[in-house]
């Protein structure tokens, strides 16, 4: 695989198999971010009052081109949690209305929707999606069976967190549009990991992180809102971009309202174009394909070791991140700590629906040697009774 590891700031003593939690930023992109900070600090007033509006517009244009979306429908926000909170609070849910989702959603996002639904008297309906996964059609049909006459919103992860499953959101967004149901997609793991085309997807709301798979510095995400629905959006903080005292009109009711929330550090947003450029310069489609192929091989090796079958119906249901089932481990957190303390392996061991999994995430800096190290550690640390322990 491409020798990208030296370009990342990661500790060389750690086998880093957890790009999924917070991403990791390459040095040239990190340096670009520091450059923005320096520029700001040299003349904060000129920079923030006069240069920043145009710079943010250019950064939104770069994101719009990358995501195939009109830049005026996109606004930078700190993270996907923020984005999904804005969406959940915007929707006019009435008592008895239903928000349909799955039992694979991220905890913070579940919290946001549960809070809003509780306040409005609405129901948050979590449809089970089985693991091992069925075909895309079976997954989509299973979720869709949760639709009732009261369903107002379909909220789905594009790629789930705990189970790293790529949900068939294209099919489900199309069904929802026909049925008059709003769609809100949590794309925390999508930008950079899979090709994204927001026009083709045609969701009503989409929030995505740049700081995970696009490798931008932390605190950069976006919120896309379909033009007709933008008047619904209320910023969580009322600042200069909102209401009568608006000074900086871009797309005043949407972009300005969410963009000018008070003084903050805009460097992460301004660096997104550099993150996009970094991936272009390093032939990211090839990097993705290599990571995906190595991941497929890794899943089979871990399965051979544990004797527990792979969990995906088809290869396209995961991209650069996937899970393996673990045999029952008493104290999973202690097991996870041992992998780090004894072997310097950073990898999430997680519980979902009472079952235990290992989530492998591969980025351009990983190599087969990282997987060899993981297999050796698992062979030594997994509890006894493994069927084919010798096969790593
Ligand atoms: C599916 C999903 N949604 C939302 C989030 C939240 O992302 P952030 O912490 O950047 O807001 C995550 C984080 O891992 C996630 O996996």
pLDDT of residue 249: 59
* Predicted confidence band of residue 384 (pLDDT cuts 50, 70, 90): low
- The domains located in the chain, with CATH, are 28-279 (3.40.640.10), 283-381 (3.90.1150.10)
**Does 115 score more than 80 pLDDT?**
yes
In the reported structure, the alpha carbon of residue 67 is separated from the centroid of ligand 1 by a whole-number distance in angstroms of 19
pLDDT of residue 247: 58
Q: Report the alpha-carbon distance of residue 273 to residue 210 in Å, rounded.
A: 10
* Predicted confidence band of residue 248 (pLDDT cuts 50, 70, 90): low
Across residues 19-26, what is the average pLDDT?
98
Q: Report the alpha-carbon distance of residue 191 to residue 183 in Å, rounded.
A: 18
| 331-372 tens-digit pLDDT | 999 999 999 999 999 999 999 999 999 999 999 999 999 999
Across residues 376-392, what is the average pLDDT?
70
Q: What angle do CA 125, 130, 135 make, to 5 degrees?
A: 110
Q: Is the CB of 79 under 6 A from ligand 1?
A: yes
In the reported structure, the alpha carbon of residue 45 is separated from the centroid of ligand 1 by a whole-number distance in angstroms of 33
pLDDT of residue 3: 78
In the reported structure, the alpha carbon of residue 80 is separated from the centroid of ligand 1 by a whole-number distance in angstroms of 6
In the reported structure, the alpha carbon of residue 77 is separated from the centroid of ligand 1 by a whole-number distance in angstroms of 13
Q: Is the CB of 106 under 6 A from ligand 1?
A: yes
Q: Is the CB of 109 under 6 A from ligand 1?
A: yes
Q: Which of 209, 219, 222 to mutate to test the pocket of ligand 1 (most atoms within 8 A of CB)?
A: 209
In the reported structure, the alpha carbon of residue 43 is separated from the centroid of ligand 1 by a whole-number distance in angstroms of 34
User: What does the radius of gyration of the chain's CA atoms come to, in whole angstroms?
Assistant: 22
Q: Report the alpha-carbon distance of residue 292 to residue 361 in Å, rounded.
A: 10
Torsion angles phi and psi, residue 187, rounded to 5: -100, 35
Q: Which atom of ligand 1 lies nearest, measured to the CA of 160? A: 1
Across residues 258-275, what is the average pLDDT?
97
Q: How many CA atoms lie within 13 A of 19 on its CB side?
A: 32
Q: Report the alpha-carbon distance of residue 20 to residue 59 in Å, rounded.
A: 24
pLDDT of residue 1: 47
């Amino acid at each position: 695989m491409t020798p990208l590891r030296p370009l990342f700031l990661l500790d060389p003593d750690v086998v880093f198999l957890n790009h999924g939690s917070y991403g990791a930023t390459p040095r040239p992109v990190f340096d670009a971010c520091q450059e923005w900070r320096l520029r700001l600090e040299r003349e904060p007033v000129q920079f923030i009052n006069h240069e920043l509006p145009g710079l943010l517009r250019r950064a939104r244009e770069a994101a719009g081109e990358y995501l195939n979306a009109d830049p005026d429908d996109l606004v930078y926000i700190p993270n996907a949690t923020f984005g999904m909170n804005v969406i959940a609070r915007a929707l006019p849910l009435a008592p008895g209305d239903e928000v349909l989702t799955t039992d694979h959603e991220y905890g913070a996002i579940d919290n946001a929707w549960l809070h809003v639904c509780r306040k409005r008297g609405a129901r948050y309906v979590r449809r089970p999606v089985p693991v091992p996964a069925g075909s895309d059609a079976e997954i989509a049909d299973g979720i869709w069976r949760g639709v009732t006459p009261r369903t107002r919103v379909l909220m789905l992860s594009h790629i789930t967190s705990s189970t790293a499953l790529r949900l068939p959101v294209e099919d489900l967004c199309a069904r929802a549009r026909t049925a008059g149901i709003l769609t809100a997609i949590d794309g925390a793991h999508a930008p950079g990991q899979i090709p994204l085309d927001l026009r083709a997807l045609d969701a009503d709301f989409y929030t995505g992180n740049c700081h995970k798979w696009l490798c931008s510095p932390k605190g950069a995400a976006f919120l896309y809102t379909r033009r007709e629905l933008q008047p619904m959006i209320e910023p969580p903080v009322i600042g200069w971009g909102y209401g009568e005292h608006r000074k900086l009109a871009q797309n005043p009711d949407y972009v300005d309202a969410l963009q000018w929330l008070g003084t903050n550090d805009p460097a992460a947003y301004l660096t997104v174009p550099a993150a996009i450029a970094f991936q272009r310069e390093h032939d990211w489609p090839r990097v993705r394909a290599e990571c995906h192929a190595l991941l497929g091989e890794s899943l089979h090796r871990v399965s051979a070791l544990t004797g527990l079958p792979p969990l995906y119906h088809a290869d396209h249901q995961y991209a650069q991140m996937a899970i393996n089932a673990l045999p029952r481990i008493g104290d999973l957190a202690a097991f996870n700590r041992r992998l780090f303390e004894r072997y310097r392996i950073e990898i999430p061991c997680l519980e979902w629906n009472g079952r235990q999994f290992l989530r492998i995430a591969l980025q351009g800096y990983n190599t087969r040697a990282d997987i060899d190290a993981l297999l050796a550690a698992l062979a030594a640390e997994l509890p006894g009774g493994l069927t084919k322990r010798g096969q790593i």
